[in-house]
Structure 1
Amino acid sequence: MKYADINRRFTEIVAEWLAKGYSINTASMSGSQGETAKIDLTDGKEIVRILVDRFSDYAANVEGVEIIVGKALDADVRPNNNDNWATLWNNRLEVLQQERFFKIGENRVSGTQYGTAAEAKAAAELRLKRYIAKECSSKSKTFTGEAIEIAKRVIRRKFGANRIATAYVMVFKYDNAYCVSYRDRTYRLR
């Protein structure tokens, strides 16, 4: 599922409420509480807010986008009234409907992919396994002896140093590449 599908679903929900006879209540929509999008509708007696927002559940290691339909409980926010001093707070809505779209993965080409909670948890576990595998394979290995003498030649040529203190010379392998380090400078061998 792509973000366009979430936009389509948001549109469908708004259309359902408009079909029930609700109209847009513009006065209660001013300001932002960090949500991605929102629209307020009224039937003349109550205000219903339909909003798109991001969520994170750190305990379950999932995140995503949710669509919430909620009814205004605050008596100060009245339908068809343009008094801007009253604010309709997203966290004080009586939630009538909630749909969550869990983030499975993303890349620069295809964008973010969304799916179910089970798919998101499986993807998070796979990412963790890949991260652990990458960390284990990228541990550095330090060399001594003849490699230090070769490193000194590289340091003279690349860093322009004439007198080299052996205590500051390091040769190591990191992510399948050899590196020479001297004091605060590092050169990756090709």
Structure 2
Amino acid sequence: MARCYSAIVPNRQMPRPSRSPLPDIWLVSDARNDHGLEHALARLPRGSGLIYRHSHLAPADRRARFEALARAARRFGHRVVLSGTARQAREWRADGAYGAAGKLAPGPATLRLVTVHSLREIAEGRRARADAVLLSPVFPTRSHPGAGTLGPVRFHLLAARSGVTVIALGGMTGHRARHLPTRKWAAIQGLARSPTRVFPIHS
């Protein structure tokens, strides 16, 4: 596995520097957690991130909901990233764009978060000049019930060889984040619920 990956992404290659440090915790939006997003944003540590998807909405409604959530997020110093093209992210005044590598490659320079699931997709994310990749699914997730997962060991192997900032996604909670080799993680339901503590404490 390591030999195969080294052929795809040389370990000596380094990612381009980000314009500012990326948040450690990212709340990902969709139809299932929409009703609790304002509350969840208020509970996140200051300077966290929101990845806005809401692909279930009609274009006008999607834009209106984005504007409302962006205002709520920025009251707490959170970064706001739009699922869409880099050009659309700039037009909507988002802090960055999120999606598959092929979607984000064209367009103006902006923060780029790329969704990946495999070695080859990590390489594609690097070629698209991703600031970070969201590697998933680490654990079983309600989004894809019964689907295969990376698990902590394979996640660790991929993250160690990625050469780019890795954000863990898929069944993530604060408890699970403590046991992964990254400070950065993202969740849909895991951050929209209201447990007494959802954020990991790193020593």
TM-score range, shorter chain: under 0.3
Structure 2 length normalisation: TM-score? 0.22
Structure 1 length normalisation: TM-score? 0.23
Higher strand content, 1 or 2: 1
Larger Rg: 1
